[in-house]
Copies of this chain bind each other. A is one copy, B any other.
Amino acid sequence: MNKETLIDVQKRIQPYIHRTPVLKSKLLNEISGVQLFFKCENFQKMGAFKIRGATNAILSLSEAERQKGVVTHSSGNFAQAVSLAAKKLGIKAYIVMPENAPQVKKNGVKTYNGEIIECESTPEAREATAARIKDEKGASFLHPSNQDEVILGNGTAAMELLEDHPDLDILMTPVGGGGLIAGTALAAHYFTENCKVIGGEPMVADDAYRSLLSGKIEYNTTFNTVADGLRTHLGDRNFPIIQKYVDRIIRVEEDEIIEAMRLIWERMKIIIEPSCAVPFAALLKNKEEFKNMKVGIILSGGNVDLSNLPF
């Protein structure tokens, strides 16, 4: 995973993704005292950056592998991303989802022709079911965050942002499974002199923050965060990258996440999901520290259930 790999990945996935816009907001600059550059992956295909990693992972498979399809377990954006990427590339996607997953998530997968395989709502059942499909169908397993091809694909969002604004002081992302911040950190490392990468994480699911402190992958015991995409833990592929290249992780309270989300909705008139608001909440919490700096924020996604908003 070096500079050339990232350049190759960017070229390879380009035809299948949007080059998303970078938005600025005078009002939010005034409120924060920071020069903000929002990379709008909420406008990405299927509504989140996840299509980048999913597309790259599938394109990395051999012809023979592709013919047998891909399988993942996810009830979130990665399920839709794999379904859409597989559809575009004309291959089969098997999506393992807990039987109690919200209908809106299931519909998302069906829209893109993903085949849903239901299982019990435990991590063990998910993994066992995905392993069974892998065996039965010969499908390749794609991990939502802990796989090199996924990490590299995710890094292309930051690469585009840095092409547009090469002089950023800071790059910020949310931290869930670690796939986005790891890819972003690689991009910052290989394509800037000294742009720091900082993560935002919910206080009640601060596994990554604790992992950086202890030096080993920590897990969450509470998950009760509005940022439903950030309940997962880091993995052995992305953790070493995060240890090496991420400056630090800032933790935020639930009300800070909701307030940051509301500010972006009201002031920028764009829809972002709660997980996506976490780095902006982290910035607002520490705004004095970032005064007058140029800060790029990856707005990770915009898939929300409009009937169930936190405000």
Contacts and interface: CB of A to CB of B under 8 A. Distances in A.
A39 to B, nearest CB: 14
Interface in A33-51: 42-43, 47
A42 B265 contact: no
A11 interface: no
A30 to B, nearest CB: 11
Contact of A306 (B43, B270, B307, B311): B311
A80 to B, nearest CB: 13
Copies in the complex: 2
Nearest to A45: B26
A271 B309 CA distance: 14
Interface residues of A, number: 17
A302 interface: yes
A54 B132 CA distance: 65
A273 to B, nearest CB: 9
Interface string A247-264: 000000000000000100
A266 interface: yes
A257 to B, nearest CB: 15
B311 A262 contact: no
Interface in A293-311: 302, 306-307, 309, 311
A47 B267 CA distance: 8
State the 9 A-B residue pairs at the shortest beta-carbon distance, nearest first: A269-B302, A269-B271, A42-B269, A306-B311, A270-B270, A43-B269, A265-B271, A269-B270, A307-B311
